[in-house]
Structure 1
């Protein structure tokens, strides 16, 4: 085995690390080392730290995509370093140079280490634990979960709190009231759990935030555990009809969905101008119409759509006609 490892083909790579400390601010450091086809980026960073530059700072723990500690940007992609092979990056980008940077959105503490306090605050806002009934707590009943319920919850329980989805999320940057993809994944995992007893409270916490997502699917793209946070946001939106006190954001979101449904039902197409007017009302539509006119885009709003042929077939699929 030792002989086999020693004979592995070695490739020299150049690692460019974006550094930061309070004294010097931001700067780049460059390192050269040889790697083989099994070398993870966590191993690359370990060797840089132990063999070339002990001042470099980064986080890593399990080295097997379970703890989420080694989240960072590699060649501009939000990734787990332990789940990224150095030579995969070389092949993908056709270059022996690999850049390593801290995650976006988060405040950088030092080098590749970021402050996760805001992320954890968002996660704990959704009460990320099960609240069983009093009978279960007293030992007078069992907390049972059917296989079909477990199937629904399992994927969303795989979140490892790495923060990659939040670092790539544009909605988090522009809207402080949006809890973020990871918090929604964790929140829905308990919202959909039949053993939980605070459904109304959870829905109130998650409902308004769910309608603030922009559906860019970046969280879907970067999640190292295939959790699909955007799916939990969609599923949470579907349940806001049970909210007792709806915010204006929730009301607008539900109105928008209804407008889309009616547009497809009536014409077989998504009439965007009509949907926008129905959703936001005449006053807002006029304001935005002036904006589109100034930017030369008004012609797109005035396109007249024709119904698709055999609209009855679409209506039948939508359950409107037998």
Structure 2
């Protein structure tokens, strides 16, 4: 055992490499600036360890968040070489290999206000997370201990993936819809909200619908949340699944009604031609007046020709209808 440990130590030393870490610093007094640090790392060195060593050995004024160091707490979300990542789940030499450079840049997450260096203000993020009521509201008889409220295996399979959200905020930091639409709750809140919306043990289904449906139709489906999630939660999938519950809403917002029209128009276009005819779908979704306004805008910007493209039906349309269950 001693020989094996010595061998591993020697191997790690052989793979040691000096890196340069460029950290984007920030303080209210000085504003933003970049600062460089050099240190040696091996193949086991996480970026949280890199930051810890810089803080303890070189510069105690650096501020960052980190706690569990095992991708569970979500504290160490930041941008590493421009990518939203968990620092604890990121090995320094992996980044060196991916980018073929010994220089690694570290910045605070986008979108959130920066408090100091890599520490951002997550108050708005938490407000939206709590807005979806992220806990189970069981039946009164369950609370009184009169009955057990068990979960079927198939229900557990549906919920399990979406239970893995660790509230790190990476998906929100990379989401363009959050930036442009204050009414959009964000991908993390939808992942957490759907986890309870789909739980058959929950008793506030109608209330959850009112909270989630309108927001779900505000997502732009850019899939950035899908790409950056460190736990493979797939928040965009929960948004799609939430939209499917719109039919159960008694009173729908204009956004939800427009979203449903859009889906119906897409289905109709594929059923009739086998293709997605953008111009017809847009007209069916937004109506003539709104479409005319946008056509004028498109004409002014030289893009009207794309709206007037004539499509022909695809061959084997009957096969497409079979796939659609018709």
TM-score (norm 1): 0.98
Tell me the residue number matched to 1:211. 217
- CA gap of 1:7–1:269, structure 2 versus 1, over 3 A, is closer
Q: 2:59 aligns with which of 53, 62, 75?
A: 53
Deviations 1:145-179 (A, max 9, x none): 00000000000000000000000000000000000
Q: How does 1:225-244 map to 2 (within 5 A)?
A: 225-244=231-250
- Separation in 2, partners of 1:261, 1:7: 59
- Separation in 2, partners of 1:312, 1:80: 48
- Separation in 2, partners of 1:43, 1:316: 56
Tell me the residue number matched to 1:143. 149
2:261 is paired with a residue of what secondary structure? helix
2:209 is paired with a residue of what secondary structure? helix
Mapped pair 1:201 → 2:207: yes
Mapped pair 1:35 → 2:28: no
Deviations 1:225-278 (A, max 9, x none): 000000000000001110011000000000000000000000000000000000
- Separation in 2, partners of 1:7, 1:194: 52
Deviations 1:162-219 (A, max 9, x none): 0000000000000000000000000000000000000010011000000000000000
Mapped pair 1:272 → 2:284: no
- Separation in 1, partners of 2:316, 2:77: 51
- Separation in 2, partners of 1:134, 1:7: 60
Root-mean-square deviation over aligned CA pairs = 0.8
Q: How does 1:105-124 map to 2 (within 5 A)?
A: 105-124=111-130
Deviation of residue 312 (structure 1)? 1.6
- Separation in 1, partners of 2:8, 2:266: 61
Tell me the residue number matched to 2:163. 157
Structure 2: where are the runs of 5+ without partners?
A: none
Mapped pair 1:253 → 2:271: no
Deviation of residue 2 (structure 1)? 5.3
- Separation in 2, partners of 1:55, 1:197: 49
Deviation of residue 316 (structure 1)? 2.1
Deviation of residue 4 (structure 1)? 3.2
Q: 2:197 aligns with which of 183, 186, 191?
A: 191
2:19 is paired with a residue of what secondary structure? strand
TM-score (norm 2): 0.97
- Separation in 2, partners of 1:4, 1:194: 50
Deviation of residue 7 (structure 1)? 4.6
Deviation of residue 310 (structure 1)? 2.3
- Separation in 1, partners of 2:150, 2:53: 48
Mapped pair 1:94 → 2:100: yes
1:179 is paired with a residue of what secondary structure? coil
- Separation in 2, partners of 1:131, 1:75: 42
2:255 is paired with a residue of what secondary structure? helix
Aligned residues: 320
Tell me the residue number matched to 1:67. 73
